[in-house]
């Protein structure tokens, strides 16, 4: 048994089969739709969410779980015999889950818990969680597990081609004027994470879906050539056929075992809307996702 437990939130976008197999504890984030709250991955699955999103008149909102949920998770690890825990959260600049996990950490002292702000989300965060689990499985102590995670953060990347411009206007991510001009010129923003700030930002604009996908393919190729070794999650929001085509393209170059598709977490979908397609990937010596 690992001596260090691994905890994350559902924003990490890890496939459920991987979570179960590797014994990772996942605290669900919440989506508020009017007066109703849904726990991501528990009451609301990605497929349901993106179908719902296209029909909603009111924008959904992200809601972090109360500290009690993290506290119960840490307490369970303590009672199960773990010597400590490492908790990797979604970026604190997306939602305040990091601060909430820190509150719970303080509630379980002296049981040692280290909370890490990934400055990421989706499978880019997920790869950091998998690296922590790998390090813990190798028998490393908590400080060594944390060091491995920090080193991993520079090797994970995220790029996504936004879906519906009207949705980005409604969420306030772009103005109506900007949306009109981009639609008129057929420009779609390509999004990434600022690894220093942990914020989502535009890194480029594409005149077509294919041009946007080509941009992502180029970035993957450049990073893979520099670092060697790669694992890629092709992410999508309600458009699985497009994601499968991208997966096939990447598999021809990097091998079937290194590429997989995953519906993007609803907490990202709340900000980008349906129709998003993107990639989260890890270079260097990436942890295996499916073993």
3-state secondary structure the chain: CCCEEEEEEHHHCCCHHHHHHHCCEEECCEEEECCEEEEECCCECHHHHHHHHCCCCCCCEEECCCHHHHHHHHHHHHHCCCCEEEEEECCCCCCCHHHHHHHHHHHCCCCCEEEEECCCCHHHHHHHHHHHHHHHHCCCCHHHHHHHHHHHHCCEEEEEECCCHHHHHHCCCCCHHHHHHHHHCCCEEEEEEECCCCEEEEEEEECCHHHHHHHHHHHHHHHHHHHCCEEEEEEECCCHHHHHHHHHHHHHHHCHHHEEEEECCHHHHHHHCCCCEEEEEEECCCCCCCC
Averaged pLDDT, 136-147: 97
For residue 242, list its beta bridge partners: none
Averaged pLDDT, 10-21: 94
pTM: 0.90
Q: What is the pLDDT of residue 164?
A: 56
Q: What is the pLDDT of residue 187?
A: 64
Q: What is the pLDDT of residue 238?
A: 84
d(C-alpha 285, C-alpha 282), whole Å: 8
pLDDT tens figures, 214-247: 999 999 999 999 988 899 999 998 889 999 999 9
CATH number attached to the domain at 156-283: 3.30.1180.10
Whether residue 178 has pLDDT greater than 80: no
Selection from 36-40, 117-121, 270-274 with the highest mean pLDDT: 117-121
d(C-alpha 63, C-alpha 75), whole Å: 23
Q: What is the pLDDT of residue 177?
A: 35
Whether residue 44 has pLDDT greater than 60: yes
In degrees to the nearest 10, what's the CA dihedral of 278, 25, 282, 233?
-30
Q: Domain residues of the chain, as ranges?
A: 4-153, 156-283
Candidates 3.90.1150.10, 3.40.50.10170, 3.50.50.60, 2.70.98.10; CATH matching 4-153: 3.40.50.10170
**Can 4-153 and 156-283 be said to share one CATH topology?**
no
d(C-alpha 145, C-alpha 95), whole Å: 25
């Amino acid at each position: 048994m690992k001596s260090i437990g691994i905890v994350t939130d559902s924003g990490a976008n890890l496939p459920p089969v991987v979570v179960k197999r590797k014994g990772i504890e996942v605290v669900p984030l919440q989506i508020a739709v009017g007066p109703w709250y849904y726990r991501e991955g528990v009451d609301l699955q990605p497929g349901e969410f993106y179908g719902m999103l296209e029909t909603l008149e009111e924008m959904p909102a992200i809601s972090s779980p109360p500290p009690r949920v993290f506290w119960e998770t840490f307490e369970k690890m303590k009672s199960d015999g773990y010597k400590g825990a490492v908790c990797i959260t979604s970026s604190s600049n997306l939602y305040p889950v990091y601060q909430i996990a820190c509150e719970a950490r303080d509630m379980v002292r002296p049981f040692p818990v280290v909370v890490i702000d990934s400055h990421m989300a989706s499978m880019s965060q997920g790869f950091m969680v998998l690296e922590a689990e790998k390090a813990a499985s190798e028998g490393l102590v908590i400080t060594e597990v944390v060091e491995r995670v920090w080193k991993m953060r520079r090797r994970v990347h995220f790029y996504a081609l936004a879906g519906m411009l009207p949705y980005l206007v409604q969420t306030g991510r772009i103005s109506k004027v900007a949306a009109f001009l981009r639609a008129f010129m057929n420009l779609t923003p390509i999004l990434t994470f600022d690894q220093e700030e942990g914020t989502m930002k535009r890194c480029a604009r594409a005149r077509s879906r294919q041009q946007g996908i080509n941009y992502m393919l180029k970035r993957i190729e450049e990073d893979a050539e520099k670092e060697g070794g790669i694992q890629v999650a092709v992410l999508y929001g309600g458009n699985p056929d497009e994601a499968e085509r991208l997966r096939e393209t990447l598999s021809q170059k990097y091998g079937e075992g290194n590429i997989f598709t995953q519906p993007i977490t609803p907490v990202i979908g709340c900000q980008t809307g349906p129709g998003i397609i993107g990639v989260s990937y890890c270079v260097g010596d990436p942890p295996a996702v499916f073993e």
